[in-house]
A and B are shown apart, each in its own frame.
Chain A
Amino acid sequence: MPTIKNLDDLKRIREEALEKKKLKTASGNVQVVVGMGTCGIAAGARETMKAILDAIEKDNLSGISVTQTGCIGLCEREPIVMVTVGEEPKVTYGKVTPEVARRILKDHVGAGKVVEDHKIAM
């Protein structure tokens, strides 16, 4: 990482990072984001994350970027997973156990069918 000397440097780094992110999203047109705050982890977000990564590896899925984020404040519904497929609006899921995570990958990411019973209306 280069050091930032002025606002122009910052702008350049910002654009490079954006570009990198775009490339990443373009190659992976599905984004899966897992809420990894303390409550999320306590509710099993790590297991959920692991299940997602395992399933992607096992089924050899491509074009999916999996990242973590802090928490959005819906403690009751943890673990929370947000899924964006292409240009479609982001879908937020609650109480995503490893089992549910596998369903989301199969039905939503694989077949375009939102898993309604775990969807959170935002």
Chain B
Amino acid sequence: MKTYRAMVLVSNDPLSIERGSQQVYTKLTEEIAAYGLQDEISLSMVSDIGRHDAAPLVIVYPDAVIYGPIAPENVHTLVEEHLYKGRVVAGLQAPLKEMTGRIAWLSARKGTLPAEQRIVLERAGLIDPESIEDYIIHDGYAALGKVLGEMKPADVISELEKSGLRGRGGAGFPTGTKWKFVSKADGAQKYVICNADESEPGTFKDRLILEGDPHSIIEAMTIAAYAVGASEGYIYIRGEYTLAQERMHRAIIKAEEMGFLGDQIFGTDFSFNLHIHSGAGAYICGEETALIESIEGKPGIPRARPPFPTTHGLWGKPTLVNNVETLANVPAILRRGAAWYHSFGTPSSPGTKVYTMLGNVNVTGVVEVPMGITLREIIAIYAKGMKKGSSFKLAQTGGSSGSVIPSSLQDTPMDFDSFSKAGVSLGSGALLICDEDTCVVDLAKVLLNFFRVESCGKCNPCRIGTQRAFEILTTITEGQATLNDLDTLLELSSNLAMMSNCGLGQTAGTPLVDILKYFRAEVEAHIRLKVCPAGVCTMKPHVHPEEKVHQHA
């Protein structure tokens, strides 16, 4: 894959075209060539990116500088100053004003706009997580006050449905719809549960929210309880997250003292009690029915579904289970409204997504970006590019239940629908970014080893299938496999997907399907040539990859 030092985008919506964006584009092509930059800088047209007042726009990444309106005669200065000499041309920048959506986000990160466009991580890193006053100063509990004072449960649910919020725990189920199911379910006793088990390898976004802004989860759960008619709630926090547990514990006590939890919240008749339940380190307990079993004091083994937790959950009662990040969106949506929420992200996946970036990139860490941003943008802008000397090969999303994203999908918008159309999944929010030194067979082997160990063993397809797949992958890495084994792998994957009881088994075969779809030649090289093209697998008997290639050349 070709790497560029900068990326230039020209807006190409009807209004921009009318105002001459095509001519700007042509002129940019000429000027970039005139300075000999065509191999360093990529130039492309993009569709509507907002800011119609300043159309046509020219945006330069990774600096995320927005220029506009740009006429052909401005192009020379822009190329000479910014692209050649690396100096921002302040005079040509689009006026800084209220901006929404992805551009707002990018410039917010550059410090040109206040960073308050963060939604989920709005307060993380800004407030003292142990101070309820700090939370209140930053609009904390205002949504709860508004909900209890002015809204009926049905209004809350309908606002959430309008917002289009979808679950961030992996499956992307519409949150408002789930709340409605629980509220409509029969039963006097209902529960709400926050899933803070976060055990996907490499994911730690939920921990950041719990540690940095614990009250936001308390507020969201109390709102949820009011909306669905629950009086008890549990936060199921992964056992290793001791700091998150401590902070949450203290936050609950403070919230109780001030009347945000307990009896007669905000002076109303509504009561809600919240408890912390510590997990004990099993990945499978993140699956919602295993989690419920675990709270009931039983081994964490997923139940058969249906019935779903929305009608038969904790102690057999209707139960709402939501992920931490999903819940963290709730107070902001109710405070500012569904329409505001739609100003971020894409129409079918509004809002933002928090990602944990890992791997062969210059900057690793956590970012919150609007839905619909591309992997290329995340790598270029937030991860500050691939590490020196390495180029992008693939990314693995969402810890182990995610997908393998090859470079051909780097420009696919990262939202639920675009990704599912492309046959991949966003997963839970980890982005393991790998370079050409990563062997796809080895990667799949590591993942399958994880599933094999973490399978609860309740059902055969998963218990035996993950083990068999792991064994076959091992023989491939040793150069001992045959091409028939690849068919067996695909068959195992389809059995896993069709016959497993829970999400673990159902998605365990995904990496197998993905690597055979996108990297079949590389897998076959292990078998036909007994060579690991990435130089990772130690073949038995050992043959030096280069020698082998020469023999065949």
| Residues of A participating in the B interface, judged by any CB pair closer than 8 Å | 1-7, 10, 13-14, 17-18, 20-21, 35, 37-38, 41, 67-76, 122
Contact = CB atoms under 8 A, between A and B. Distances in A.
A17 B368 CA distance: 28
B277 to A, nearest CB: 19
B149 A6 contact: yes
Contact of A4 (B109, B111, B134, B266): B266
Interface in B226-263: 241, 243-244, 254, 257-260
Contact of B149 (A7, A76, A122): A7
Nearest to B139: A14
Nearest to A6: B267
A13 B244 CA distance: 26
A111 to B, nearest CB: 25
Nearest to B366: A73
A69 B131 CA distance: 10
A10 B136 contact: yes
Among A3, A73, A74, chain B packs the most CB atoms within 10 A around the CB of A73
Interface stretch (B176-184, B205-213, B409-417): B205-213
Contacts of A76: 363-365
B359 to A, nearest CB: 12
A14 B365 contact: no
B137 interface: yes
Interface of B: 109, 111, 121, 123-130, 132-134, 136-137, 141-142, 145-146, 149, 204, 207-208, 211-213, 241, 243-244, 254, 257-260, 266-267, 363-368
B124 A68 contact: no
A6 to B, nearest CB: 5
A38 B125 contact: no
Given A10-B142, A17-B136, A37-B211, A69 B125 contact: yes
A37 B208 contact: yes
B473 to A, nearest CB: 30
Contacts, number: 105
A76 B130 CA distance: 24
A75 to B, nearest CB: 5
A11 to B, nearest CB: 9
A38 B207 contact: yes
Nearest to B142: A10
A32 B126 CA distance: 12
A41 B259 CA distance: 32
Given A10-B136, A73-B121, A122-B111, 15 more contacts: A1-B257, A1-B258, A6-B266, A7-B266, A10-B142, A21-B133, A21-B137, A37-B243, A38-B211, A67-B128, A70-B208, A70-B211, A71-B124, A71-B212, A73-B208
B120 to A, nearest CB: 11
A73 B127 CA distance: 14
Contacts of B267: 4-6
The 8 lowest CB-CB distance pairs between A and B, nearest first, are A70-B212, A73-B366, A72-B125, A5-B267, A3-B259, A17-B133, A7-B145, A70-B124
Contacts of A21: 133-134, 137
B387 to A, nearest CB: 12
Contacts of A68: 128-130
A35 B137 contact: no
Nearest to A74: B365
24 contacts: A1-B254, A1-B258, A3-B257, A4-B260, A7-B266, A10-B136, A10-B141, A13-B258, A14-B137, A17-B133, A17-B136, A37-B207, A37-B212, A38-B207, A70-B124, A70-B212, A70-B213, A71-B211, A72-B124, A72-B125, A73-B208, A75-B364, A75-B365, A76-B365
Contacts of B137: 14, 17-18, 21
A58 B363 CA distance: 36
A23 B158 CA distance: 42
Nearest to B247: A70
A71 B366 CA distance: 9
A7 B144 CA distance: 9
A2 B129 contact: no
A4 B364 contact: no
A48 B146 CA distance: 41
Contact of B127 (A13, A38, A69, A74): A69
A70 B259 contact: no
Contacts of A6: 145, 149, 266-267
A66 B124 CA distance: 17
A19 B161 CA distance: 37
B257 A69 contact: no
Contacts of B145: 4, 6-7, 10
A18 B142 CA distance: 15
Contacts of B121: 72-73
A70 B363 contact: no
B141 A73 contact: no
Contact of A41 (B126, B134, B243, B257): B243
Contacts of B133: 13, 17, 20-21
A57 B449 CA distance: 52
Contacts of A72: 121, 124-125
Contact of A35 (B125, B260, B363): B125
Nearest to B135: A17
Contacts of B363: 74, 76
Nearest to A78: B365
A37 B127 CA distance: 12
Nearest to B212: A70
A81 B438 CA distance: 35
Given A7-B145, A37-B207, A14 B136 contact: yes
Among A6, A7, A41, A69, chain B packs the most CB atoms within 10 A around the CB of A69
